[in-house]
Structures are given as C-alpha cells and as structure tokens.
Amino acid sequence: MASAVSEFGDSRPDARAQLAGMIFAVVLIDPEGCIAEVNHAAEDLLGTSSSRLIGTRLTDRIGPLDPRVEARLTASDEALVARDLAIRVGPHEARVNLTASPLGGYQGWQVVTLSQIGHDEASSQTGGEGLLGAPAVLAHEIKNPLAAIRGAAQLASRKLPHVDKKLARMITDEVDRIARLIDRMQQLGSTRTGPVQPCNPHEAIRTAVATMRAAGGEGDGIEIREEFDPSLPPVLANRDALEQVLINLVSNARDATLRQGGKPGAATGQKGLIVVQTRFVSGLAFSAIRNGRAVPLPIEITVSDNGPGIDPALRDHVFEPFVSSKPSGQGLGLSLVRKLVRDMNGNVSHDRDQRSGLTHFRLHLPQAQDAN
C-alpha cells in the first residue's frame, strides 16, 4: 500500500469522491437517528436532494419498516444486515439490501447503505443474458421468412389503394427493423448492440404505439395517454433498439390490462389505461457506472398500466430470461429490454403503486449532449 501512495500521491480520490462515485446509497446517521450526510446515489434512491434529507429521520424517509429492522437501526451500536427489505419512498415501493455499521470511536453514529435489488451491475454478469444469444443458424431461419414477408408486402403495396399503402410500408419498415435487431442479437456477447446517436424519444414512442396498434391493438378499448415533456432534449440511444424496448413495454402493458377476463378492467369495471410519460429529472438524475465512470441518466420514460400488476413471486425476477406471467409467454421480452437498455448506457426498473393501482416500468437514459 505504501508503494501505491508514493506512486499516486495526492492524486488519489479522497473519501468524499469515493462515496460520490458509489452506485449504492450511503447515508450517515447521527446519534439522534437523523440524516447527517448522503451521497448522490442516496439522493437518487430517496428521490430528493441532500438539503431536504439532512436533518430528517431515515426511518421516516423509507418507512414503515419491518419492526425488527427498525429496532436494530435505533440501537445504533449494533451492526445490521437486512436482505430483500421492502421500503417505501414517497408513493413507490422498492426492495433493497440494507446494512448499518456503527462508527467506532463516534458513539451513536452509524453508516447505512442501501442497494436496490435489480439495479446491481453484478446481476448483469450472470449467465442469464447469455441465454438470449441466438445461434447463427436460428437467426438465419428467422431472417428467411422475414425476407418473404417483406417481398409479399412490397407486392401487395402495388395493388393496394393509395389509402392502404401506409400499412404495407409499415410492414416493410418493421421487417427491416426486426432484421437489424436479429443482426444485433447475434452479437449479444459483444459490448454493444449498435451505435448510439441523438434521437427524439417521442418519435420512438409514437412509432412503438402505432406498431402495437397495427399488430392487433385497435378496438380493444384501451386508452393510451401521452404525458410528454415538450422541452425534453434529445436522448443518446440507438433508435432501433429504443423502439424495440418501447414496443415490448407498451405491448406488455396492453397485455396486462387485458389479463382480467379478456377485456380491460373486466374484474373491476374500470377502463384499460396505459400512460407513457417523459420527463427530465434535473438534479436528481439516476446514474449508472459504465466503463469505470458515472453516467448521468436524466431522461426518464415511464410506461404505466392499470392492470393487476406482477405476481409478487416474480417481481424480483422479471428481467431474467424465461420468467413470464403470461400463460404462453417465453420470458425473453423483458430480458431483451434490459440488455438493450444497458447497451445504451441506460437503466430499466419497475415498481407497483398499490394506492393508484398502477404498474410502472421506468427507463433512464443519457442526454445526447452529455455523451463524451
């Protein structure tokens, strides 16, 4: 260690810089049980700035907690490790791994860490995503019928009246996009699925919704509501990959609203609803660690539905391959979503708001001008 000190000298990051760079939340608690300091990841997780957090009680910010955990947190001289702990941040529930460590020599002070389950980079290093890598022969067998479909659509467009040619063009455009996606699927073992560049997220959303409608969503009685921030800057993404992600999420939301009796809200009498919202989360942008550096993710796209929600037994595993709540589902859609989003240096998560009856899938992506 002495040689490392002599080599790097004062250029080494200090303790504050190290804490700021961590991807999990770190909270310093004083002897009164109040928050004394937080890092950037804690601001992200708790949904507010350090100036608003400092001086408040951590248990008020993330409670109500399991009484046993709360009792151990109050006993600040005891170390604590709690795994898969349910916390509440505002209207949203999250599941975290929590540790509490007393600071020797500082009576009553402790450091609490919170690591949100499903956001760990380590989870992406498991072999799960590798199961998505289609062998070259399978990709070949898929692309052959795609070429036939494209050719048939081109022939049909010559005979269709002008008003219907738009549908034929949509077929050829979607076939081309899927073919490009298959090309990238063959490279899932590589570091990236395709180049990223500035693009308008609202255009990708509208294309995804139109594709979902054309694939059988017309006349199903589901309301799709857009809540867009018109001032949203361009996102840094691969347009085809982002469109595929949104198609999967919007289609899943539609399926969720149809899950009760075959009609939207049949069990409750309420109308099926999908809300696609965009916003810029300035100052509290979620950050991810990519290639050893923090990447701010201020662009948020949320796809919400008023379906029955995800089975609690599957909630922590929905992004894993072959996990599906659909009777005929293959369980690859959300795993592909996670892969594509992470290849764009983004993050995807989900939560269920029981009070409003909505399930939210949230994308956090980098802003185009922030890329270096």
Please confirm whether the linkage preceding 64 is cis (ω < 30° from 0): yes
Of 303, 316, 278, 325, the C-alpha closest to 123 is 316
Residue 340: name the closest of 190, 215, 141 by CA.
Answer: 190
* Helix 201-212 and helix 165-185, axial crossing angle in degrees, nearest 10: 110
Reduce the secondary structure of the chain to three states and give it as a string: CHHHHHHHHHHCCCHHHHHHCCCCEEEEECCCCEEEEECHHHHHHHCCCHHHHCCCEHHHHHCCCCHHHHHHHHCCCCCEEEEEEEEEECCEEEEEEEEEEECCCCCCCEEEEEEECCCCHHHHHCCCHHHHCCCHHHHHHHHHHHHHHHHHHHHHHHHCCHHHHHHHHHHHHHHHHHHHHHHHHCCCCCCCCCCCEEECHHHHHHHHHHHHHHHHHCCCCCEEEEECCCCCCCEEECHHHHHHHHHHHHHHHHHHHCCCCCCCCCCCCCCCEEEEEEEECCCCCEEEEECCEEEEECEEEEEEECCCCCCCCCHHHCCCCCCCCCCCCCCCHHHHHHHHHHHCCCEEEEEEECCCCEEEEEEEECEHHHCC
Residue 362, both tokens: 């949230």
How far, in Å, CA of 104 to CA of 106, rounded?
6
Write down the CATH superfamily of domain 2-117. PAS domain (3.30.450.20)
> CA 330 to CA 322: how far, in whole Å?
6
- Would you identify the CATH topology of the domain 196-370? Heat Shock Protein 90 (3.30.565)
Note the pTM of the prediction, 2 decimals.
0.54
Query: In whole angstroms, what is the distance from residue 160 CA to residue 167 CA?
Result: 10
Please give the chain's pLDDT, 372 residues, in tens.
Answer: 444 444 545 567 777 777 777 778 889 999 888 999 998 888 888 888 888 899 999 888 888 888 888 888 877 677 888 887 888 887 777 788 888 888 877 888 889 888 877 544 334 444 444 444 444 555 655 666 777 777 777 787 877 788 788 888 888 888 887 877 676 555 444 445 578 899 999 999 999 998 887 766 555 678 899 999 999 999 999 999 999 999 999 998 998 888 654 454 444 557 889 999 999 987 544 555 555 556 788 999 999 999 988 888 777 778 776 555 555 444 567 888 888 898 888 989 999 998 889 999 999 999 997 544
Q: What is the pLDDT of residue 119?
A: 42
Length of the chain in terms of residues written: 372
**DSSP bridge partners of 226:** 276
